[in-house]
Structure 1
Amino acid sequence: MKKIIILPFLFLTLLSWGQAQFVVQNGAKTEVYNNINTAITNAAAGDTLYLPGGGFSITNTTIDKTLHWVGHGHNPQETSATKQTRIVSSLTFTGNCDGSSFEGILFTSTLNFGSDGDDCVNVKLKRCRLMNALTMRYDNNGDPVDLNFHITECVLQGIVNAFNGSNCTIEHSLLFSYVLYFEGSLFNHNDFPALSGCSNCSSRDRIIQYSNNCLFTNNVFSYQFGLYNSNSCELNYNLFDRALPFDTLLSTHSGSNNIVSVPIADIYTSIENDAYNTFSYNNDYHLNATGTGTAQDGTPGVSIKGAASDGTDMGVYGTSNPYKTIPYYPHINTATIASEAVSDQLGVTINAEAQSR
């Protein structure tokens, strides 16, 4: 299986010193294009589209079929051999894109899912970075709709709006803006470092808004302003830099085993220039080994390490499968291609790191 997966990436790496190449794979059938728009047009529903490193603009910004998009990753420190895979166009994926997936891509503009009267469901985003807003439905008219939207190990810098979507999961991700209109969804092992651009927030500038019946477990809220216009959520084993964001007696929210009043400077291992509301690859979001807070039962001085429900850390680096930025597919660390052939042979040296997940 790994041999089949790695071939498109090795091929793209060999060609990355020339014109960008895009590989479309359908089972054993593989086709190569030198233009991303041609590759998208010719791909059939269900195909996998392997993207090289570089920045790409998509002409037809409305995608109308299920595709599986795979890039080289977004972390510049891990893509020195291939470059980041960046898509700079604002894109809309219609309701015909059910089951689409995205991995290892940096999106600089907005992503929108669904069309009028036809929701896009069963979408997966993994190890991507979204620098702008993510809208998961066309609108929020009517009752909640089961979207089964799954986001894992992503960096989300813009507003995330589910528009009354339910059965969504966000896990092992870093969120820097508002989370809106979620119903019956799960937020597990995420970090909410701070609201982007929010230096003097008002009472309404709260990161979770208009969300009901959601479960928040093992998250780190390190500059949180609570819940706004939300009801009946359950919050367990979370870390808060301030007090609980709900009244345990009077609120419709409930929860247990949370840790509160952790000084923001004591939460993370290292935040560059103390800019908590700005994402940086130089930040270390592992929990501070010496950080302490107050347990929900009032016990002071409890360690924030190993305090998640499974005995690991809260936040993105908890569980046995912590946050990564490298795509699941074998990652090319270095690639060296000789400038000229010797004895009709061109020297190529590629170092690729296989991953267990």
Structure 2
Amino acid sequence: MKTKLLYLVLFLLPIISIAQEVHTVDNRIGTTALFNNVQDAIDAAAEGDYIYIHPSETNYGNISIRKTLHIRGLGHNPELNGGEHAKLSNISLDIDSVAGTSGSDSTISGIETATISVSAANTISDLQISNCYITIRLDLINSVNTLVNGNIIDNSEIRFGPIQSGNIITNNIFNWTNVSSSVNLINGMNDTNIFSNNVVLIKDTSNIFRNSNLPVVKNCLFLFADDANSPTSVILENSTVYFQNCLTFSYGGQTIDTLNGINNLDNVNPQLEDLGTPEDPLFSYDKDYAISVGSPAQNAGEDGTDLGIFGASFNFIMRGYPFDLPYPTSINIANPIIQAGATMQVELTAEGN
């Protein structure tokens, strides 16, 4: 990590060294952003541009992406702004047959959204969805080579469709509690896709995999809560799953059914850094899901790195800061008392990855 002392000018955007244009969006009254509506910014943007959505207590609603764009928020739990962050209801990705463009190659990072939906009619490829907080559903209906990493996926399912290959779901936290019986954590995933280095926190008896045919599942932690509603297996419905280098453990002392596969650690405490006292795996921002030194899960992955979200040398960022933006950690007003028309000097301390 490196620390920078910066003057605050238009909310960090001049810090980003990119050739594309940056379009800023803020729906709060009295701001200096270029747009107050995200869809207006998207419509005005050229392919490859960045859309930076400012934190707000008001949801920005639905957006449709039909060209290659890079959507950025400050993070889904930033240290500053009183916890405010950019929230959307639905992000849909499709093609624009008139303009000859599509949402393929787009990136989405640092926001909270209820759903992200890939077109049910057209193939979208090479998406990256990282460091987001997803609360209802991720629809990869016709998706090729999509990378989903660094996210917190809270009681949300990932649904695959008829066109799917090369999708990688890796280094995410899945919080699986009190889910509708019609919802499945992974639905319809086939053997061309990878599910790796995820931490799945389980309290609910709904399916983990449904209608899934031999997806590659490796280096994952399946951790069960100390609760009467917690199941005693990684529940599969109409699915064949082969687990490799995965771990199961129940914090309530139940014996979890042995995983089908090789090199798995069944009913072994992963010894995570901090799950509170008494230990409770269910998601909270103040917990630390890193593997402790000396844990059986340390360097136990197929690739020789740790199981879970920090495996494969991944930098999991609990607050959801985008990888390509510095994030502010403190603000100091150097001259808090100024005359009308004078310049206020604001010093911003930010950290970058």
TM value normalised by structure 1:
0.74
| Cα displacement string for residues 80-128 of structure 1 (whole angstroms, at most 9, x for unaligned residues) | 1585432232332224311111111111x2221114x212221111111
Question: Equivalent residue for 1:320?
Answer: 313
After the TM superposition, list the runs of 4 or more consecutive aligned residues in structure 1 that deviate by more than 6 angstroms: 23-26
Question: Equivalent residue for 1:279?
Answer: 283
CA contact 1:154–1:174 (8 Å) conserved in 2: yes
**Residue 311 (structure 1) aligned with residue 310 (structure 2):** no
Question: Equivalent residue for 2:274?
Answer: 270
Match for 1:103 among 104, 109, 112?
Answer: 109
Of the structure 1 ranges 35-44 and 181-190, higher mean CA displacement relative to structure 2 is found in 35-44
Higher strand share: 2
Pair 1:47–1:179, CA change in 2 (3 A): same
Pair 1:28–1:243, CA change in 2 (3 A): closer
Question: Equivalent residue for 2:262?
Answer: 256
Match for 2:136 among 127, 132, 135?
Answer: 132
Match for 2:48 among 46, 68, 72?
Answer: 46
Pair 1:273–1:121, CA change in 2 (3 A): farther
Q: Which protein has greater RCO, CA pairs closer than 8 Å, 6+ apart? A: 2
Pair 1:287–1:45, CA change in 2 (3 A): same
Supply the AA of the counterpart residue of 1:71: G
**Residue 90 (structure 1) aligned with residue 90 (structure 2):** yes
Q: In 1, distance between residues paired with 2:313 and 2:62?
A: 40
Match for 2:189 among 182, 191, 196?
Answer: 182
Question: Equivalent residue for 2:169?
Answer: 170
Alignment of 1:183-202 (within 5 A): 183=190, 184-195=192-203, 198=204, 201=205
Supply the AA of the counterpart residue of 2:129: L
| Cα displacement string for residues 187-242 of structure 1 (whole angstroms, at most 9, x for unaligned residues) | 121101115xx1xx2xxx331221123111111011352432123x4321111222
Q: Helix, strand or coil for the counterpart of 2:67?
A: coil
CA contact 2:8–2:347 (8 Å) conserved in 1: no
Aligned identity (percent) is: 22
**Residue 148 (structure 1) aligned with residue 145 (structure 2):** yes
Q: Helix, strand or coil for the counterpart of 2:302?
A: coil
Question: Equivalent residue for 1:222?
Answer: 223
Q: Helix, strand or coil for the counterpart of 2:289?
A: strand
Supply the AA of the counterpart residue of 2:264: N
- Aligned-residue Cα RMSD (Å) equals 3.3
Residue 24 (structure 1) shift: 12
Residue 307 (structure 1) shift: 1.7
Pair 1:318–1:13, CA change in 2 (3 A): same
CA contact 1:335–1:351 (8 Å) conserved in 2: yes
Equivalent residues, number: 304
Pair 1:28–1:130, CA change in 2 (3 A): closer
* Structure 1 segments unaligned to the other structure (5+ residues): 15-20, 138-144, 247-254, 292-302
Question: Equivalent residue for 1:17?
Answer: none
Question: Equivalent residue for 1:346?
Answer: 344
Q: In 2, distance between residues paired with 1:155 and 1:278?
A: 12
